[in-house]
Amino acid sequence: MQNISNISSAVAKKALVLISFGTTVAETRRLTIAAVEQQTQAAFPDYTVCRAFTSRQVIATLRERDGLVVDTPAQALQKLQHEEYTDVIVQPLLLLPAEEFHVKIIAALAAFRGVFPQLHVGWPLLALTDDLHAVADAISQQFPALGAQEAVVLMGHGTRHPANAAYCALAYIFDDRAQGTFLVGTVEGYPELSHVIKQLRQRQIRHVTLLPLMLVAGDHARNDMAGAGADSWRNRLVEAGLTVTVKMQGLGENPAIQAIYLRHIRRAIAGNSAANFSAAVAC
Ligand code: CO
């Protein structure tokens, strides 16, 4: 017969920490981050689902302006440690395994090595090649009937980190499929909008739908993509002679994208942890 303490220590306490950059825009947060959290909780009912943001600026704005408290990754893990969780899965809702992933997530986890009997990290959205294909599927399914002179232009964030190459790989996959024209540009990386405009001219496109290639339709989507300024993507495309439709929708709203995150969580639970690949970069 087991005594009480043995019984309680044998019970696994499981948590899933979903980590995004965060957004101060409440509406898109509800439609994307909260929607992924709800799907995750429904798919993994024996896990406690927790939220953390990597952006200290977003966290501070939400606290000061809205009275909404969101943890950093380290704070979320400290709470789980105090509550004696045993199995912790960290799933980034980031797109790339770039700076935020390595510096804000993988490095933060280093302090918790050995704290939890099980600690695994899922891959971001655009990490492995089958993810790129799945994301291309998820996006092209949203636009089943593009005309010959129509294109979808995806606005990614972009980064100086080598993981930026995933944008080019995704663009290559879209081209390879030849299921309509899907072009990829970035705000802060390569390719830029000027490259996209060159492609649009070469392909004789006249109408463009703009869609954020980002989890949320937040500040970048509202300002860089669709803002009133002359240098917004919408206005530069109009200036280039195209008609433009804006789809103010974060990727996190797309059920097929949500399903990819759930698949990454399943893989992390099975022990296929992104941290195994990232340890060298984190140290
Ligand atoms: Co930014």
Residue 36 — very low, low, confident or very high, per pLDDT cuts 50/70/90?
very high
pLDDT at 2: 47
Q: Per-residue pLDDT for 170 more than 80?
A: yes
For 184-235, the pLDDT digits (tens) are 999 999 999 999 999 999 999 999 999 999 999 999 999 999 999 999 999 9
Nearest to 243 by CA among 202, 201, 211, 209: 209
For 58, residues 6+ apart whose C-beta sits below 8 A from its C-beta are 21, 22, 23, 24, 70
Across the chain, mean pLDDT equals 93
Distance 113 CA to ligand 1 centre (A): 30
Edge-to-edge strand ranges of the sheet holding 87-92: 47-53, 14-20, 87-92, 118-121
Residue 276 — very low, low, confident or very high, per pLDDT cuts 50/70/90?
low
Q: Which of 82, 102, 120, 157 is catalytic?
A: 157
Q: Per-residue pLDDT for 34 more than 90?
A: yes
Distance 159 CA to ligand 1 centre (A): 9
Q: Max CA-CA distance within the chain?
A: 79
Q: Per-residue pLDDT for 240 more than 80?
A: yes
Residue 9 — very low, low, confident or very high, per pLDDT cuts 50/70/90?
low
What share of the chain in percent tops pLDDT 90? 88
CA angle 252–49–38, rounded 5-degree value: 40
How many helices (H) and strands (E) in the chain?
14, 8
pLDDT at 277: 58
Q: Is the pTM of this model over 0.85?
A: yes
Question: Region 105-119: what's the mean pLDDT?
Answer: 92
Residue 274 — very low, low, confident or very high, per pLDDT cuts 50/70/90?
confident
Question: Residue 82 catalytic?
Answer: no
Distance 148 CA to ligand 1 centre (A): 33
Question: Which residue in this structure is represented by tokens 């340890």?
Answer: 279
Distance 77 CA to ligand 1 centre (A): 25
Q: Which tokens is 239 given?
A: 């200036």
Distance 196 CA to ligand 1 centre (A): 20
Distance 157 CA to ligand 1 centre (A): 6
Q: Per-residue pLDDT for 272 more than 90?
A: no
Q: Per-residue pLDDT for 1 more than 90?
A: no
What share of the chain in percent tops pLDDT 70? 93
